[in-house]
Amino acid sequence: MSETSFIPGPETARAYRTALGCFGTGVTVVTTMTPRGPLAITANSFTSVSMDPPLLLWCPAKSSLRHNAFVNAKDFTIHVMAEDQLDMAKHFSRNGEGFDAVDWQPNAAGTPTLPDCLARFECRHFACHPGGDHSILIGEVLEATTRPGQGLIFKHGLYGGFQEQS
């Protein structure tokens, strides 16, 4: 098998995206409450930043029509999607205001929480940093909730899950 090397830039954007797709990530749905109502966005740019204080980050694209609402939100909730929640993840990737199809509940801060996710991190806005064509949003985790189950994974442009080892 041969390797391909390149320098990331406009002329190699597709190759760079393909290389990034080699790394499997979990799938999250981030929610917040706006003056117009609940808002969600599907994201796979999510990671822990600090244990003390408990901080995590995610990165919305600046080109997203939902970007400014999340950058300016005082509170947001990150939901780690379960393997059987592909339809919900795809739904919120297309329609951030489509909460009619979901049995959501507001948390203490009024932020929408989604049912049956593997993990939920209720966050207060901690910091926002520029990150090229994305913003790097850091949230301080105020409360976390988990349940057993398998996670929804995104890799090479495809969704999937883990296979149990025999």
Query: Which tens digit of pLDDT belongs to each residue from 99-138?
Result: 998 999 999 999 999 999 999 999 999 999 999 999 999 9
* Euclidean distance between CA atoms 144 and 140, whole angstroms: 11
Any residues with CB less than 8 A from the CB of 159 and at least 6 apart, and which?
27, 86, 89, 152, 153
Helix (H, G, I), strand (E, B) or coil at 83: helix
Is 1 part of any domain? no
Q: How confident is the model at residue 163 (pLDDT cuts 50, 70, 90)?
A: low
> Nearest Cα to 123, choosing from 55, 51, 68?
55
Mean predicted confidence (pLDDT) in 63-86: 96
Mean predicted confidence (pLDDT) in 41-58: 95
Q: How confident is the model at residue 7 (pLDDT cuts 50, 70, 90)?
A: confident
Give how many domains the chain has, as a whole number: 1
Write out the residue range of the structural domain in which residue 66 sits: 27-156
Q: How confident is the model at residue 58 (pLDDT cuts 50, 70, 90)?
A: very high
Which CATH number characterizes residue 111's domain?
A: 2.30.110.10
